[in-house]
Amino acid sequence: MSTRLLRKRPARIGPATLSAIVLLALAVGLGWAGIAALVATGSAAAPLTGTSTAEAAGGLHWNSALVIAVGVVLALLGLVALILGLSPGARRILGVSADGSDHIDDFEVAMPTSALSQIAAAAADGVDGVSGVKASSNAKSTIVTFSTPIRDSEPIRAEVEAAVKDRFAAISFDRTPAVKVQARRSQS
């Protein structure tokens, strides 16, 4: 199998949906103006002018603030869209190595980065003295932030780090993610 079944990079569904909606809005605006002009004049040769916006636009100067602003916004949005289209984006899954079996020709296992965070948070949460945990991950590392009511948090920090690292070590990742643990004093 040459194509991978699991998608490694984001599919840009959000930006694509937004762009599609913008295109649709443009279509509605343009269609509305066109039909309005056609109906108003009652002839197929009707021009689009007569709308107040068209007239107002005709009166603007190229170096007016509004035109410059529109140019800047268009150029920036275009740049963002271009970058979103070209850049591969953050990896959303981590490879996990797995022995196949006689029943499978090609076995591919992966874990999304969100699962990594949840596993790390659960492992940290099991440590005594931890009152709350947050974890965030990318494909290479996980940052665990825990809160504790205890003033000297260093021993707990070490314990949390060991717990998370132990948990990760028990999973045969292709590349075990690095673990970084931060303590935050909780007021309670």
Partner 1 sequence: MRRTAAAANRTGLIILGLIAMALGLAVLAIGFGLTASIDPALEAGADLGPVASVLALPYSALIAVIAALILAVIGLRWLSAQVPRKDFAKPFRMQADSRTGLTTVNAEVIAEAVAADLESADGVSDAQVILRGTARRPELLIHVAADERADIDAIIADTAQRAAGNASLALGAPLSAVALEIAIARTRSRRQRTVNIQ
Encode 84-97: b = buried (16+ Cβ within 10 Å), e = exposed: eeeeeeebbbbbee
Q: Name the strand (E) or helix (H) holding 146.
A: strand 141-148
With beta carbons less than 8 A apart as the criterion, state whether 134 and 114 touch. no
Q: Minimum distance between the CB of residue 79 and partner 1, rounded to whole angstroms?
A: 6
Q: Minimum distance between the CB of residue 165 and partner 1, rounded to whole angstroms?
A: 15
For partner 1, the closer CB: 18 or 178: 18
Q: Minimum distance between the CB of residue 95 and partner 1, rounded to whole angstroms?
A: 11
For partner 1, the closer CB: 88 or 151: 88
Q: Minimum distance between the CB of residue 52 and partner 1, rounded to whole angstroms?
A: 12
For partner 1, the closer CB: 39 or 187: 39
Residue 78, judged by CB atoms within 10 A of its CB (0-12, 13-18, 19+), counts as exposed
For partner 1, the closer CB: 65 or 187: 65
| Separation between Cα atoms, residue 97 and residue 172, nearest integer Å | 6
DSSP 184: E
Which is it for the CA torsion 126, 128, 134, 140, positive or negative? Answer: negative
